[in-house]
Structure 1
Amino acid sequence: MSYYIEDLQSDLSAEYRKTLTEADIVLFAGLSGDNNPMHIDEEFAATTRFGGRIAHGMLSASLISTVIGTRLPGPGAIYMGQNLKFLKPVKIGDTVTALVTVIEVNQEKQRVRLLTECWVKGEKVIDGDALVWVPRRPV
């Protein structure tokens, strides 16, 4: 679904859910160049406070971009800014739910402020907010 700025109102929300796999971690490491052993080396990661490998924080956060670009507001929306707080680690096999909720709409500037969260098993793992430009309805 795609929304125009005229369609948006506070508390409107959308989500995207994905189970992170071994392939996702390896592909993200390759794409991003982030080969931190926390993500790709089980032997190393087992010696850390997490007791094993964890997903890249930005991989989970990228699911927020999926919601913004495909669901709310959807195609045509342009990211202007994103604040993130990583609260808990995400492990391979976890299902991450990215939830985006409208918190403020500025019709004049065509901007929307969004609450951006990621959840795993009922626990918030990422908290943040985003500013997005949204197109007007064509005349």
Structure 2
Amino acid sequence: MLDNLPRGTICIEDMEIGMSRYLLKTITDRDIELFAEVSTDRNPVHLDDDYARDTIFGGRIAHGMLTAGLISAVIGEQLPGHGTVYMGQTMKFLAPVRPGDTVEARVTVREIEHPKRRVTLDCACRVGDRVVLKGEALVLAPSAKFD
């Protein structure tokens, strides 16, 4: 399941403090397997039910960076969108994401530096009411003046 707002670009001239965009994604076993393949992170806590059952998580969990990648998707596809350049990202992982969980990844404009085209975004991922990841991103936003 992937549900999100329209994709595209919001130029810095059209941004406002508090503007927000999100996507919803249900994490599947296939997502976890593909992420393990691409990243080469084959930690058995992500891939092996028997191993993961005996960990502090009591079962398999998705890679934290798979969840973080959903933030990148919102930034690169929606807010600001196409043409955005990542400058930095901080994040804290607060709870595990499990296969079958639906993650809401949301970014919200906190600060805009028009002369430098820099935008600071609050970032959060939730599963239901539980925050599983939070942080902030600094991006170079596209501008209508530079088309």
Secondary structure in structure 2 of the residue aligned to 1:85: strand
Whether contact under 8 Å (2:44, 2:52) holds in the other structure is yes
Secondary structure in structure 2 of the residue aligned to 1:29: helix
Aligned length: 139
Deviation at 1:135, TM superposition (A): 1.8
Q: How does 1:51-62 map to 2 (within 5 A)?
A: 51-62=58-69
What whole-Å deviation, never above 9, does each CA across 1:24-68 have from its counterpart, x for those lacking one?
A: 000000000000111011110000111100000000110001100
Aligned AA (1:44)? Y
Which one of the candidate residues 77, 81, 91 is aligned to 2:84?
Answer: 77
- 1:40 to 2:42 alignment: no
TM-score normalised over the length of structure 2: 0.92
Whether contact under 8 Å (2:122, 2:135) holds in the other structure is yes
Deviation at 1:2, TM superposition (A): 1.1
What whole-Å deviation, never above 9, does each CA across 1:63-97 have from its counterpart, x for those lacking one?
A: 00110011100100111100010000000000000
Whether contact under 8 Å (2:86, 2:139) holds in the other structure is yes
- 1:105 to 2:143 alignment: no
Which one of the candidate residues 125, 133, 147 is aligned to 1:118?
Answer: 125
1:28 is aligned to 35
TM-score normalised over the length of structure 1: 0.98
Write the distance in 1 (CA, Å) between the matches of 2:37 and 2:70.
18
Write the distance in 1 (CA, Å) between the matches of 2:82 and 2:93.
27
Structure 2: segments with no counterpart, 5+ residues: 1-7
Structure 1: segments with no counterpart, 5+ residues: none
Structure 1 ranges of 4+ moved more than 2 A? none
